Amino acid sequence: MGHKNLKQLDAIAFKPGDESGFRLCYNGSMKHTNVVRVLPDKRQKQVLEIIGDRCAALWNAVQYRCRQAFFKGDSVPSYAALCSEFKEHPAYKALPAHIGQEVIKKARKAWDSYFACLRLYRKGELKEPPHIPRYWKDRRTGRRIFRVIPVKAPTSYSLDARCLSLTLPQDLRKGQGDRLVLRTKGVLRFHGRPKTLELKYDPVKTRWYAHQVVEVPEPVRKARPEKHAAIDLGARVLVALAVEGLNRQLLFSAREVIKDFLYWTNQIAGEQSRLNRAGRKTSRRLKRLYQLRARRLRHAFVALAAEIVRILKRLRVTTLFLEDLTGIREAMDFGPKNLLVHNFWAFRMLRNLIEAACTRTGIRVVPVEPRGTSCRCAVCGSSVRRPVRHKAVCEKCGRVWHADANAALNIILQGSSKEHGAEATPLKPLALRWDRHRWVSRFESAAGTPSGATSGSRMAA
């Protein structure tokens, strides 16, 4: 199908991918994605299923043509050649031209992704070989399944906060005109030049969603004095934030997020055990639990990125130094902690979300090599020892640091090319926790009332 190849390619060659909701363009603009839920009635559901099945039929026909050419050793046809070849195909003629062309384009892009990942695999940059694009069908039953209805241009659809209007195929226009008008639910977060649109069906929730790509001009950065901040990413402390001129650092603890992640992991294990006793491998409930765990983790990360950007914007930060952890987990075995390090610690998703939020605000993000930032003192530059995991003690000046706060300060010094000791004060960092809605001070209750927190720490949070 090509989705795995696209994810592999995004992970290496494209930092802010679809997860972050935006992509950078070459003309100084950004592409954002509006996502709204579509609420079709019973008759409209049948129409969407018919269109989706026709898209799957065209996809499978195009993939058959490309796969046969690939297996014979011939070159895979280009997009223009495929459009010319399938112009009279029954599956193409059963769809509006703008939908049929977009299905062919997506099928050809899947092959582009495959060949790009194949080149990376041959260079040794991918551990697993990529898969060739597959058919849209259920392997167990052999039935054709539909996944997406792509719409090529904004001239073929209209979307606002209340409804979505699409062009219908010729044979489905009887009694309802040439347009299909669907009710929508949601908020259009981004406004700009509309591009393509995709109608996606979620088989777990049995719901339809519309994903609209919008091209928005990149925000103009205001001319103001340069001010730096740095972020150290971790597993137990998700983010350690240090800001130039701020006399203490901010630590975003992962304790509550880990608890929530482990709770849903146990729910998944219980469902897998039940399915194993029944001789089954999967169920809709199991897929729903996996989806729920991933969405709750992403919700915490999105709120974390938003909170970081709010702090940076309030402190008038212009540049954020963000450590690049690519390949940090390769060939490493953490034993019982593998679940937290390899499954829970989605640092790439968190990094992309922070980059996306900073880009929308006009804050420049600069990647920094993190090597050596945890083993030296941010004041004198001497080596530090780690009596416990979260503590760093300087052997020369005797200062006692929180290890992640010390690393964040070193990232600022390394990114800005400053000497050690520049505004580095080892005060006790301010810890923030996740209350499943927002990030608050560790001393703040779920109702929002402080208990024992000072006014200064509450203001910094």
Instruction: Specify the pTM.
Output: 0.76
What percent of the chain lies above the pLDDT cut of 70?
A: 78
Phi/psi for 370 (5° steps) reads: -85, 0
Taking the C-alpha atoms of residue 277 and residue 75, their distance in angstroms, rounded to an integer, is 48
DSSP state of 131: P
Query: Which letter, b or e, does each residue of 268-307 get, where b requires 16 or more Cβ atoms within 10 Å of its Cβ?
Result: beebbeeeeeeeeeeeeebeebbeebeebbeebbbbbbeb
Let me know if 237 is exposed, middle or buried by CB neighbors in 10 A (0-12, 13-18, 19+). Answer: buried
Spatial CA neighbour of 405 closest among 369, 440, 431, 434:
431
**Token pair of 51 as six digits:** 């269109």
The segments of the chain whose pLDDT lies below 70 read 1-28, 175-176, 221-222, 326-343, 372, 378-379, 381-390, 396, 398-400, 417-427, 443-461
Return the pLDDT at 327: 60
DSSP state of 22: E
Return the pLDDT at 153: 83
397-411 tens-digit pLDDT: 766 677 777 778 888
Taking the C-alpha atoms of residue 6 and residue 391, their distance in angstroms, rounded to an integer, is 40
Crossing angle for the helix pair 347-361 and 284-314, to the nearest 10 degrees: 40
Return the pLDDT at 336: 61
Quickly count: other Cβ atoms within 10 Å of residue 408's Cβ. Answer: 30
307-359 tens-digit pLDDT: 999 999 999 898 999 887 766 656 566 666 666 666 677 788 888 899 989 88
Sign of the alpha-carbon dihedral angle for 81, 87, 92, 98 = positive
Residue 126 has, within 13 A of its CA and on its CB side, a CA count of 23
3 state SS of 252: strand
Let me know if 415 is exposed, middle or buried by CB neighbors in 10 A (0-12, 13-18, 19+). Answer: buried
Three-state secondary structure of 253-303: ECHHHHHHHHHHHHHHHHHHHHHHHCCCCCCHHHHHHHHHHHHHHHHHHHH
Return the pLDDT at 48: 93
Return the pLDDT at 269: 92
Q: Give the Å distances, CA to CA, from 122 to 11, 71, 76, 117, 130.
A: 17, 19, 19, 9, 11
Taking the C-alpha atoms of residue 80 and residue 397, their distance in angstroms, rounded to an integer, is 68
Taking the C-alpha atoms of residue 3 and residue 235, their distance in angstroms, rounded to an integer, is 27
